[in-house]
Amino acid sequence: MKGVYIFDTTLRDGEQTPGVNLNKIEKLEIAKQLEKLGVDVIEVGFPVTSSGDFEAVKLIAQSIKGPVITALARAVKSDIDTAWEAIKYSEKPRIHTFIATSEIHMKYKLNMTREEVLNKAAEMVAYAKGLCRDIEFSPEDATRTDVEFLYSIIETVIDAGATVINIPDTVGYSTPKEFGGLIAGIKKNVKNIDRAIISVHCHNDLGLAVANSLMAIENGAAQIECAVNGLGERAGNAALEEVVMGLKTRRDCFGATNHIISENIYNTSLLVKRLTGVDVQHNKAIVGANAFAHESGIHQHGVLNFSGTYEIMTPESIGLNRNSIVLGKHSGNHAFRQRIKDLGFENISEEAENKAFKKFKELTDRKKEIYDEDIKALINDELLISEEGYNLQYFHISSDSKPSAVSRVKLTLEDKSFEGEANGDGPVDALFNAIEKALGMDLCLKDYSLKSITHGRDAMGEVLVRIENQDKIYTGRAVSTDVIEASAKAYVNAINKILEKI
């Protein structure tokens, strides 16, 4: 069995997903979960892009002890210096530098010749090596690069000190056969490749990121760069959970092992979903709501008799218990505390836990059956509430069968109160207008979605909103059995994220 390193880029490429804005505390929370998951490398950010990104990288480098901590840098001295200043606190720091190598990028983006790119890559890798022992180099747009030039630049940067060579399919252009052949060609034709680890970073523009990554492993790659829930630029990156469970379920085919504790996959997915505000499609492989659901009567019969008839992996293998009824109105704080630990919430504060328990008791008066998903939603909702920012004190809606509605709201911020009243096309629109009027804000609602957490008429509703302020998108999420209340809280949650950025 060959070992494969799992390189997670949720906090760097994943945060480049449109509409995703993570602060440093949220990034640290995800990094801690990734450490618990067992990833080998965490790419934390691109420090030169902003002071916020720099501080987040620095905080994680100081806090996370297990995985390698890496930051991205262009093949530019100032980028490399900034990356090093952020990651130098890590026990296992790595500088990840890159430059484009395809003809289209060199001509239209860099305005550089092949020789200039080759020299710049060698110079900057050598410079980075003077700061940090572990250097990763990426020839951007490698799959559209002339293969002989690609071999040449890889050999050159290894001689300059690169320890990891990452082959990115930057625009998701390659096919599995092509990509596997490219990795095999590098293994065969780069004479010093034995001195470096071959990594791959596949984008999903054609839906082939995971397939290309697995094909790369078959042909000699030893590190896979991926993101939780497949987040990333455009159509995203190879999904970590799909790569890992592909290797685990078809070990007979790939003959590869990794350090991921797969039972932590589902809770990692939920955390990333909560903090990024990006939902997972129901038919998403591994972590989608339907991944272990069986609608067909024939399928249900087979699974009840023997799960292996239609399940090639168990829900328990990713840490999922399917909507088991766990607690009721007579359950106490001790049972609740134990259950949330069983569900993977181990590091929440006592205050947040007590508030969640209070909400749980209130929920038992409104719902007949409490499921694991309800409890997860309560905990996640409590963790979304910021100690700072606006708090919704009350709202009132007046509406009838006509399209128009009127809403009144009151919010507080520290010792100040804000009240507003407004009309709208229906209760939710009126509510949002009243909140904006109370706060003196003019926001643009870009997206609104409502879905049921479990099932039944008494199920909790989860609301997700995306609002635009000064050309930036902010996401808010909240849950309640009252979908109007969930809508109000989600809107306020998104507004509080604007305050964090001011």
Contact 465, 406 (CB under 8 A): no
For the stretch 339-386, pLDDT in tens is: 888 777 777 778 888 888 888 888 888 777 787 888 888 887 777 665
Give me the pLDDT at residue 228, please.
Answer: 98
Give me the pLDDT at residue 4, please.
Answer: 98
**Max Cα-Cα span within the chain:** 76
Give dist(CA 383, CA 51) in Å, integer: 25
Report which secondary-structure segment, H or E, holds 32: helix 24-37
Q: Which residue has the tokens 């910021």?
A: 386
In the 3-class helix/strand/coil scheme, how is 271-300 assigned residue by residue?
HHHHHHCCCCCCCCCCCCCCCCCCCCHHHH
pLDDT mean across residues, the chain:
90
Give dist(CA 201, CA 212) in Å, integer: 9
Say yes or no to pLDDT of 110 above 80. yes
275 or 216, higher pLDDT: 216
Cα 212 to Cα 143, 215, 216, 377: the distances in Å are 11, 5, 6, 35
Give dist(CA 170, CA 140) in Å, integer: 6
Contact 363, 410 (CB under 8 A): no
Which residue type sits at 420? G
Closest CA to 174 of 146, 152, 141: 141
Strand order in the sheet with 472-480: 444-452, 461-469, 472-480
Pairing label, strands 93-100, 256-257: unpaired
134 or 400, higher pLDDT: 134
Q: What is the mean pLDDT of residues 26-54?
A: 96
Q: Which CATH architecture has domain 2-276?
A: Alpha-Beta Barrel (3.20)
Give me the pLDDT at residue 370, please.
Answer: 80
| 109's tokens | 């983006």
| 23's tokens | 């602060």
> What CATH homologous superfamily does 391-501 map to?
Alpha-isopropylmalate synthase LeuA, regulatory domain (3.30.160.270)
How deeply is 275 buried, as exposed, middle or buried, from its count of CB atoms within 10 A (0-12, 13-18, 19+)? Answer: buried
Phi, psi of 35 (to 5 degrees): -60, -45
69-78: buried (b, 16+ CB within 10 Å) or exposed (e) per residue? Answer: bbbbbbbeee
Q: What is the mean pLDDT of residues 468-493?
A: 90
CA angle centred on 8, ends 154 and 453, rounded to 5°: 150
Q: Considering the chain, what percentage of its residues have pLDDT values greater than 70?
A: 94
How deeply is 101 buried, as exposed, middle or buried, from its count of CB atoms within 10 A (0-12, 13-18, 19+)? Answer: buried
Closest CA to 474 of 21, 96, 2: 21
Give me the pLDDT at residue 335, please.
Answer: 80
Give me the pLDDT at residue 342, please.
Answer: 77
Q: What is the mean pLDDT of residues 323-327?
A: 59
For the stretch 138-153, pLDDT in tens is: 999 999 999 999 999 9
Cα 385 to Cα 334, 388, 478: the distances in Å are 23, 9, 9
Give me the pLDDT at residue 190, please.
Answer: 98
Give dist(CA 254, CA 2) in Å, integer: 9
Q: Considering the chain, what percentage of its residues have pLDDT values greater than 90?
A: 69
pTM of the model: 0.83
Closest CA to 369 of 492, 458, 264, 272: 458
110 DSSP assignment: I
Give me the pLDDT at residue 299, please.
Answer: 45
Taking the mean position of all CA atoms in its chain, how far away is CA 317? 20
Pairing label, strands 444-452, 416-425: unpaired
Continuous H helices in 222-371: 240-249, 251-254, 265-276, 297-305, 333-342, 350-364
Say yes or no to pLDDT of 473 above 80. yes
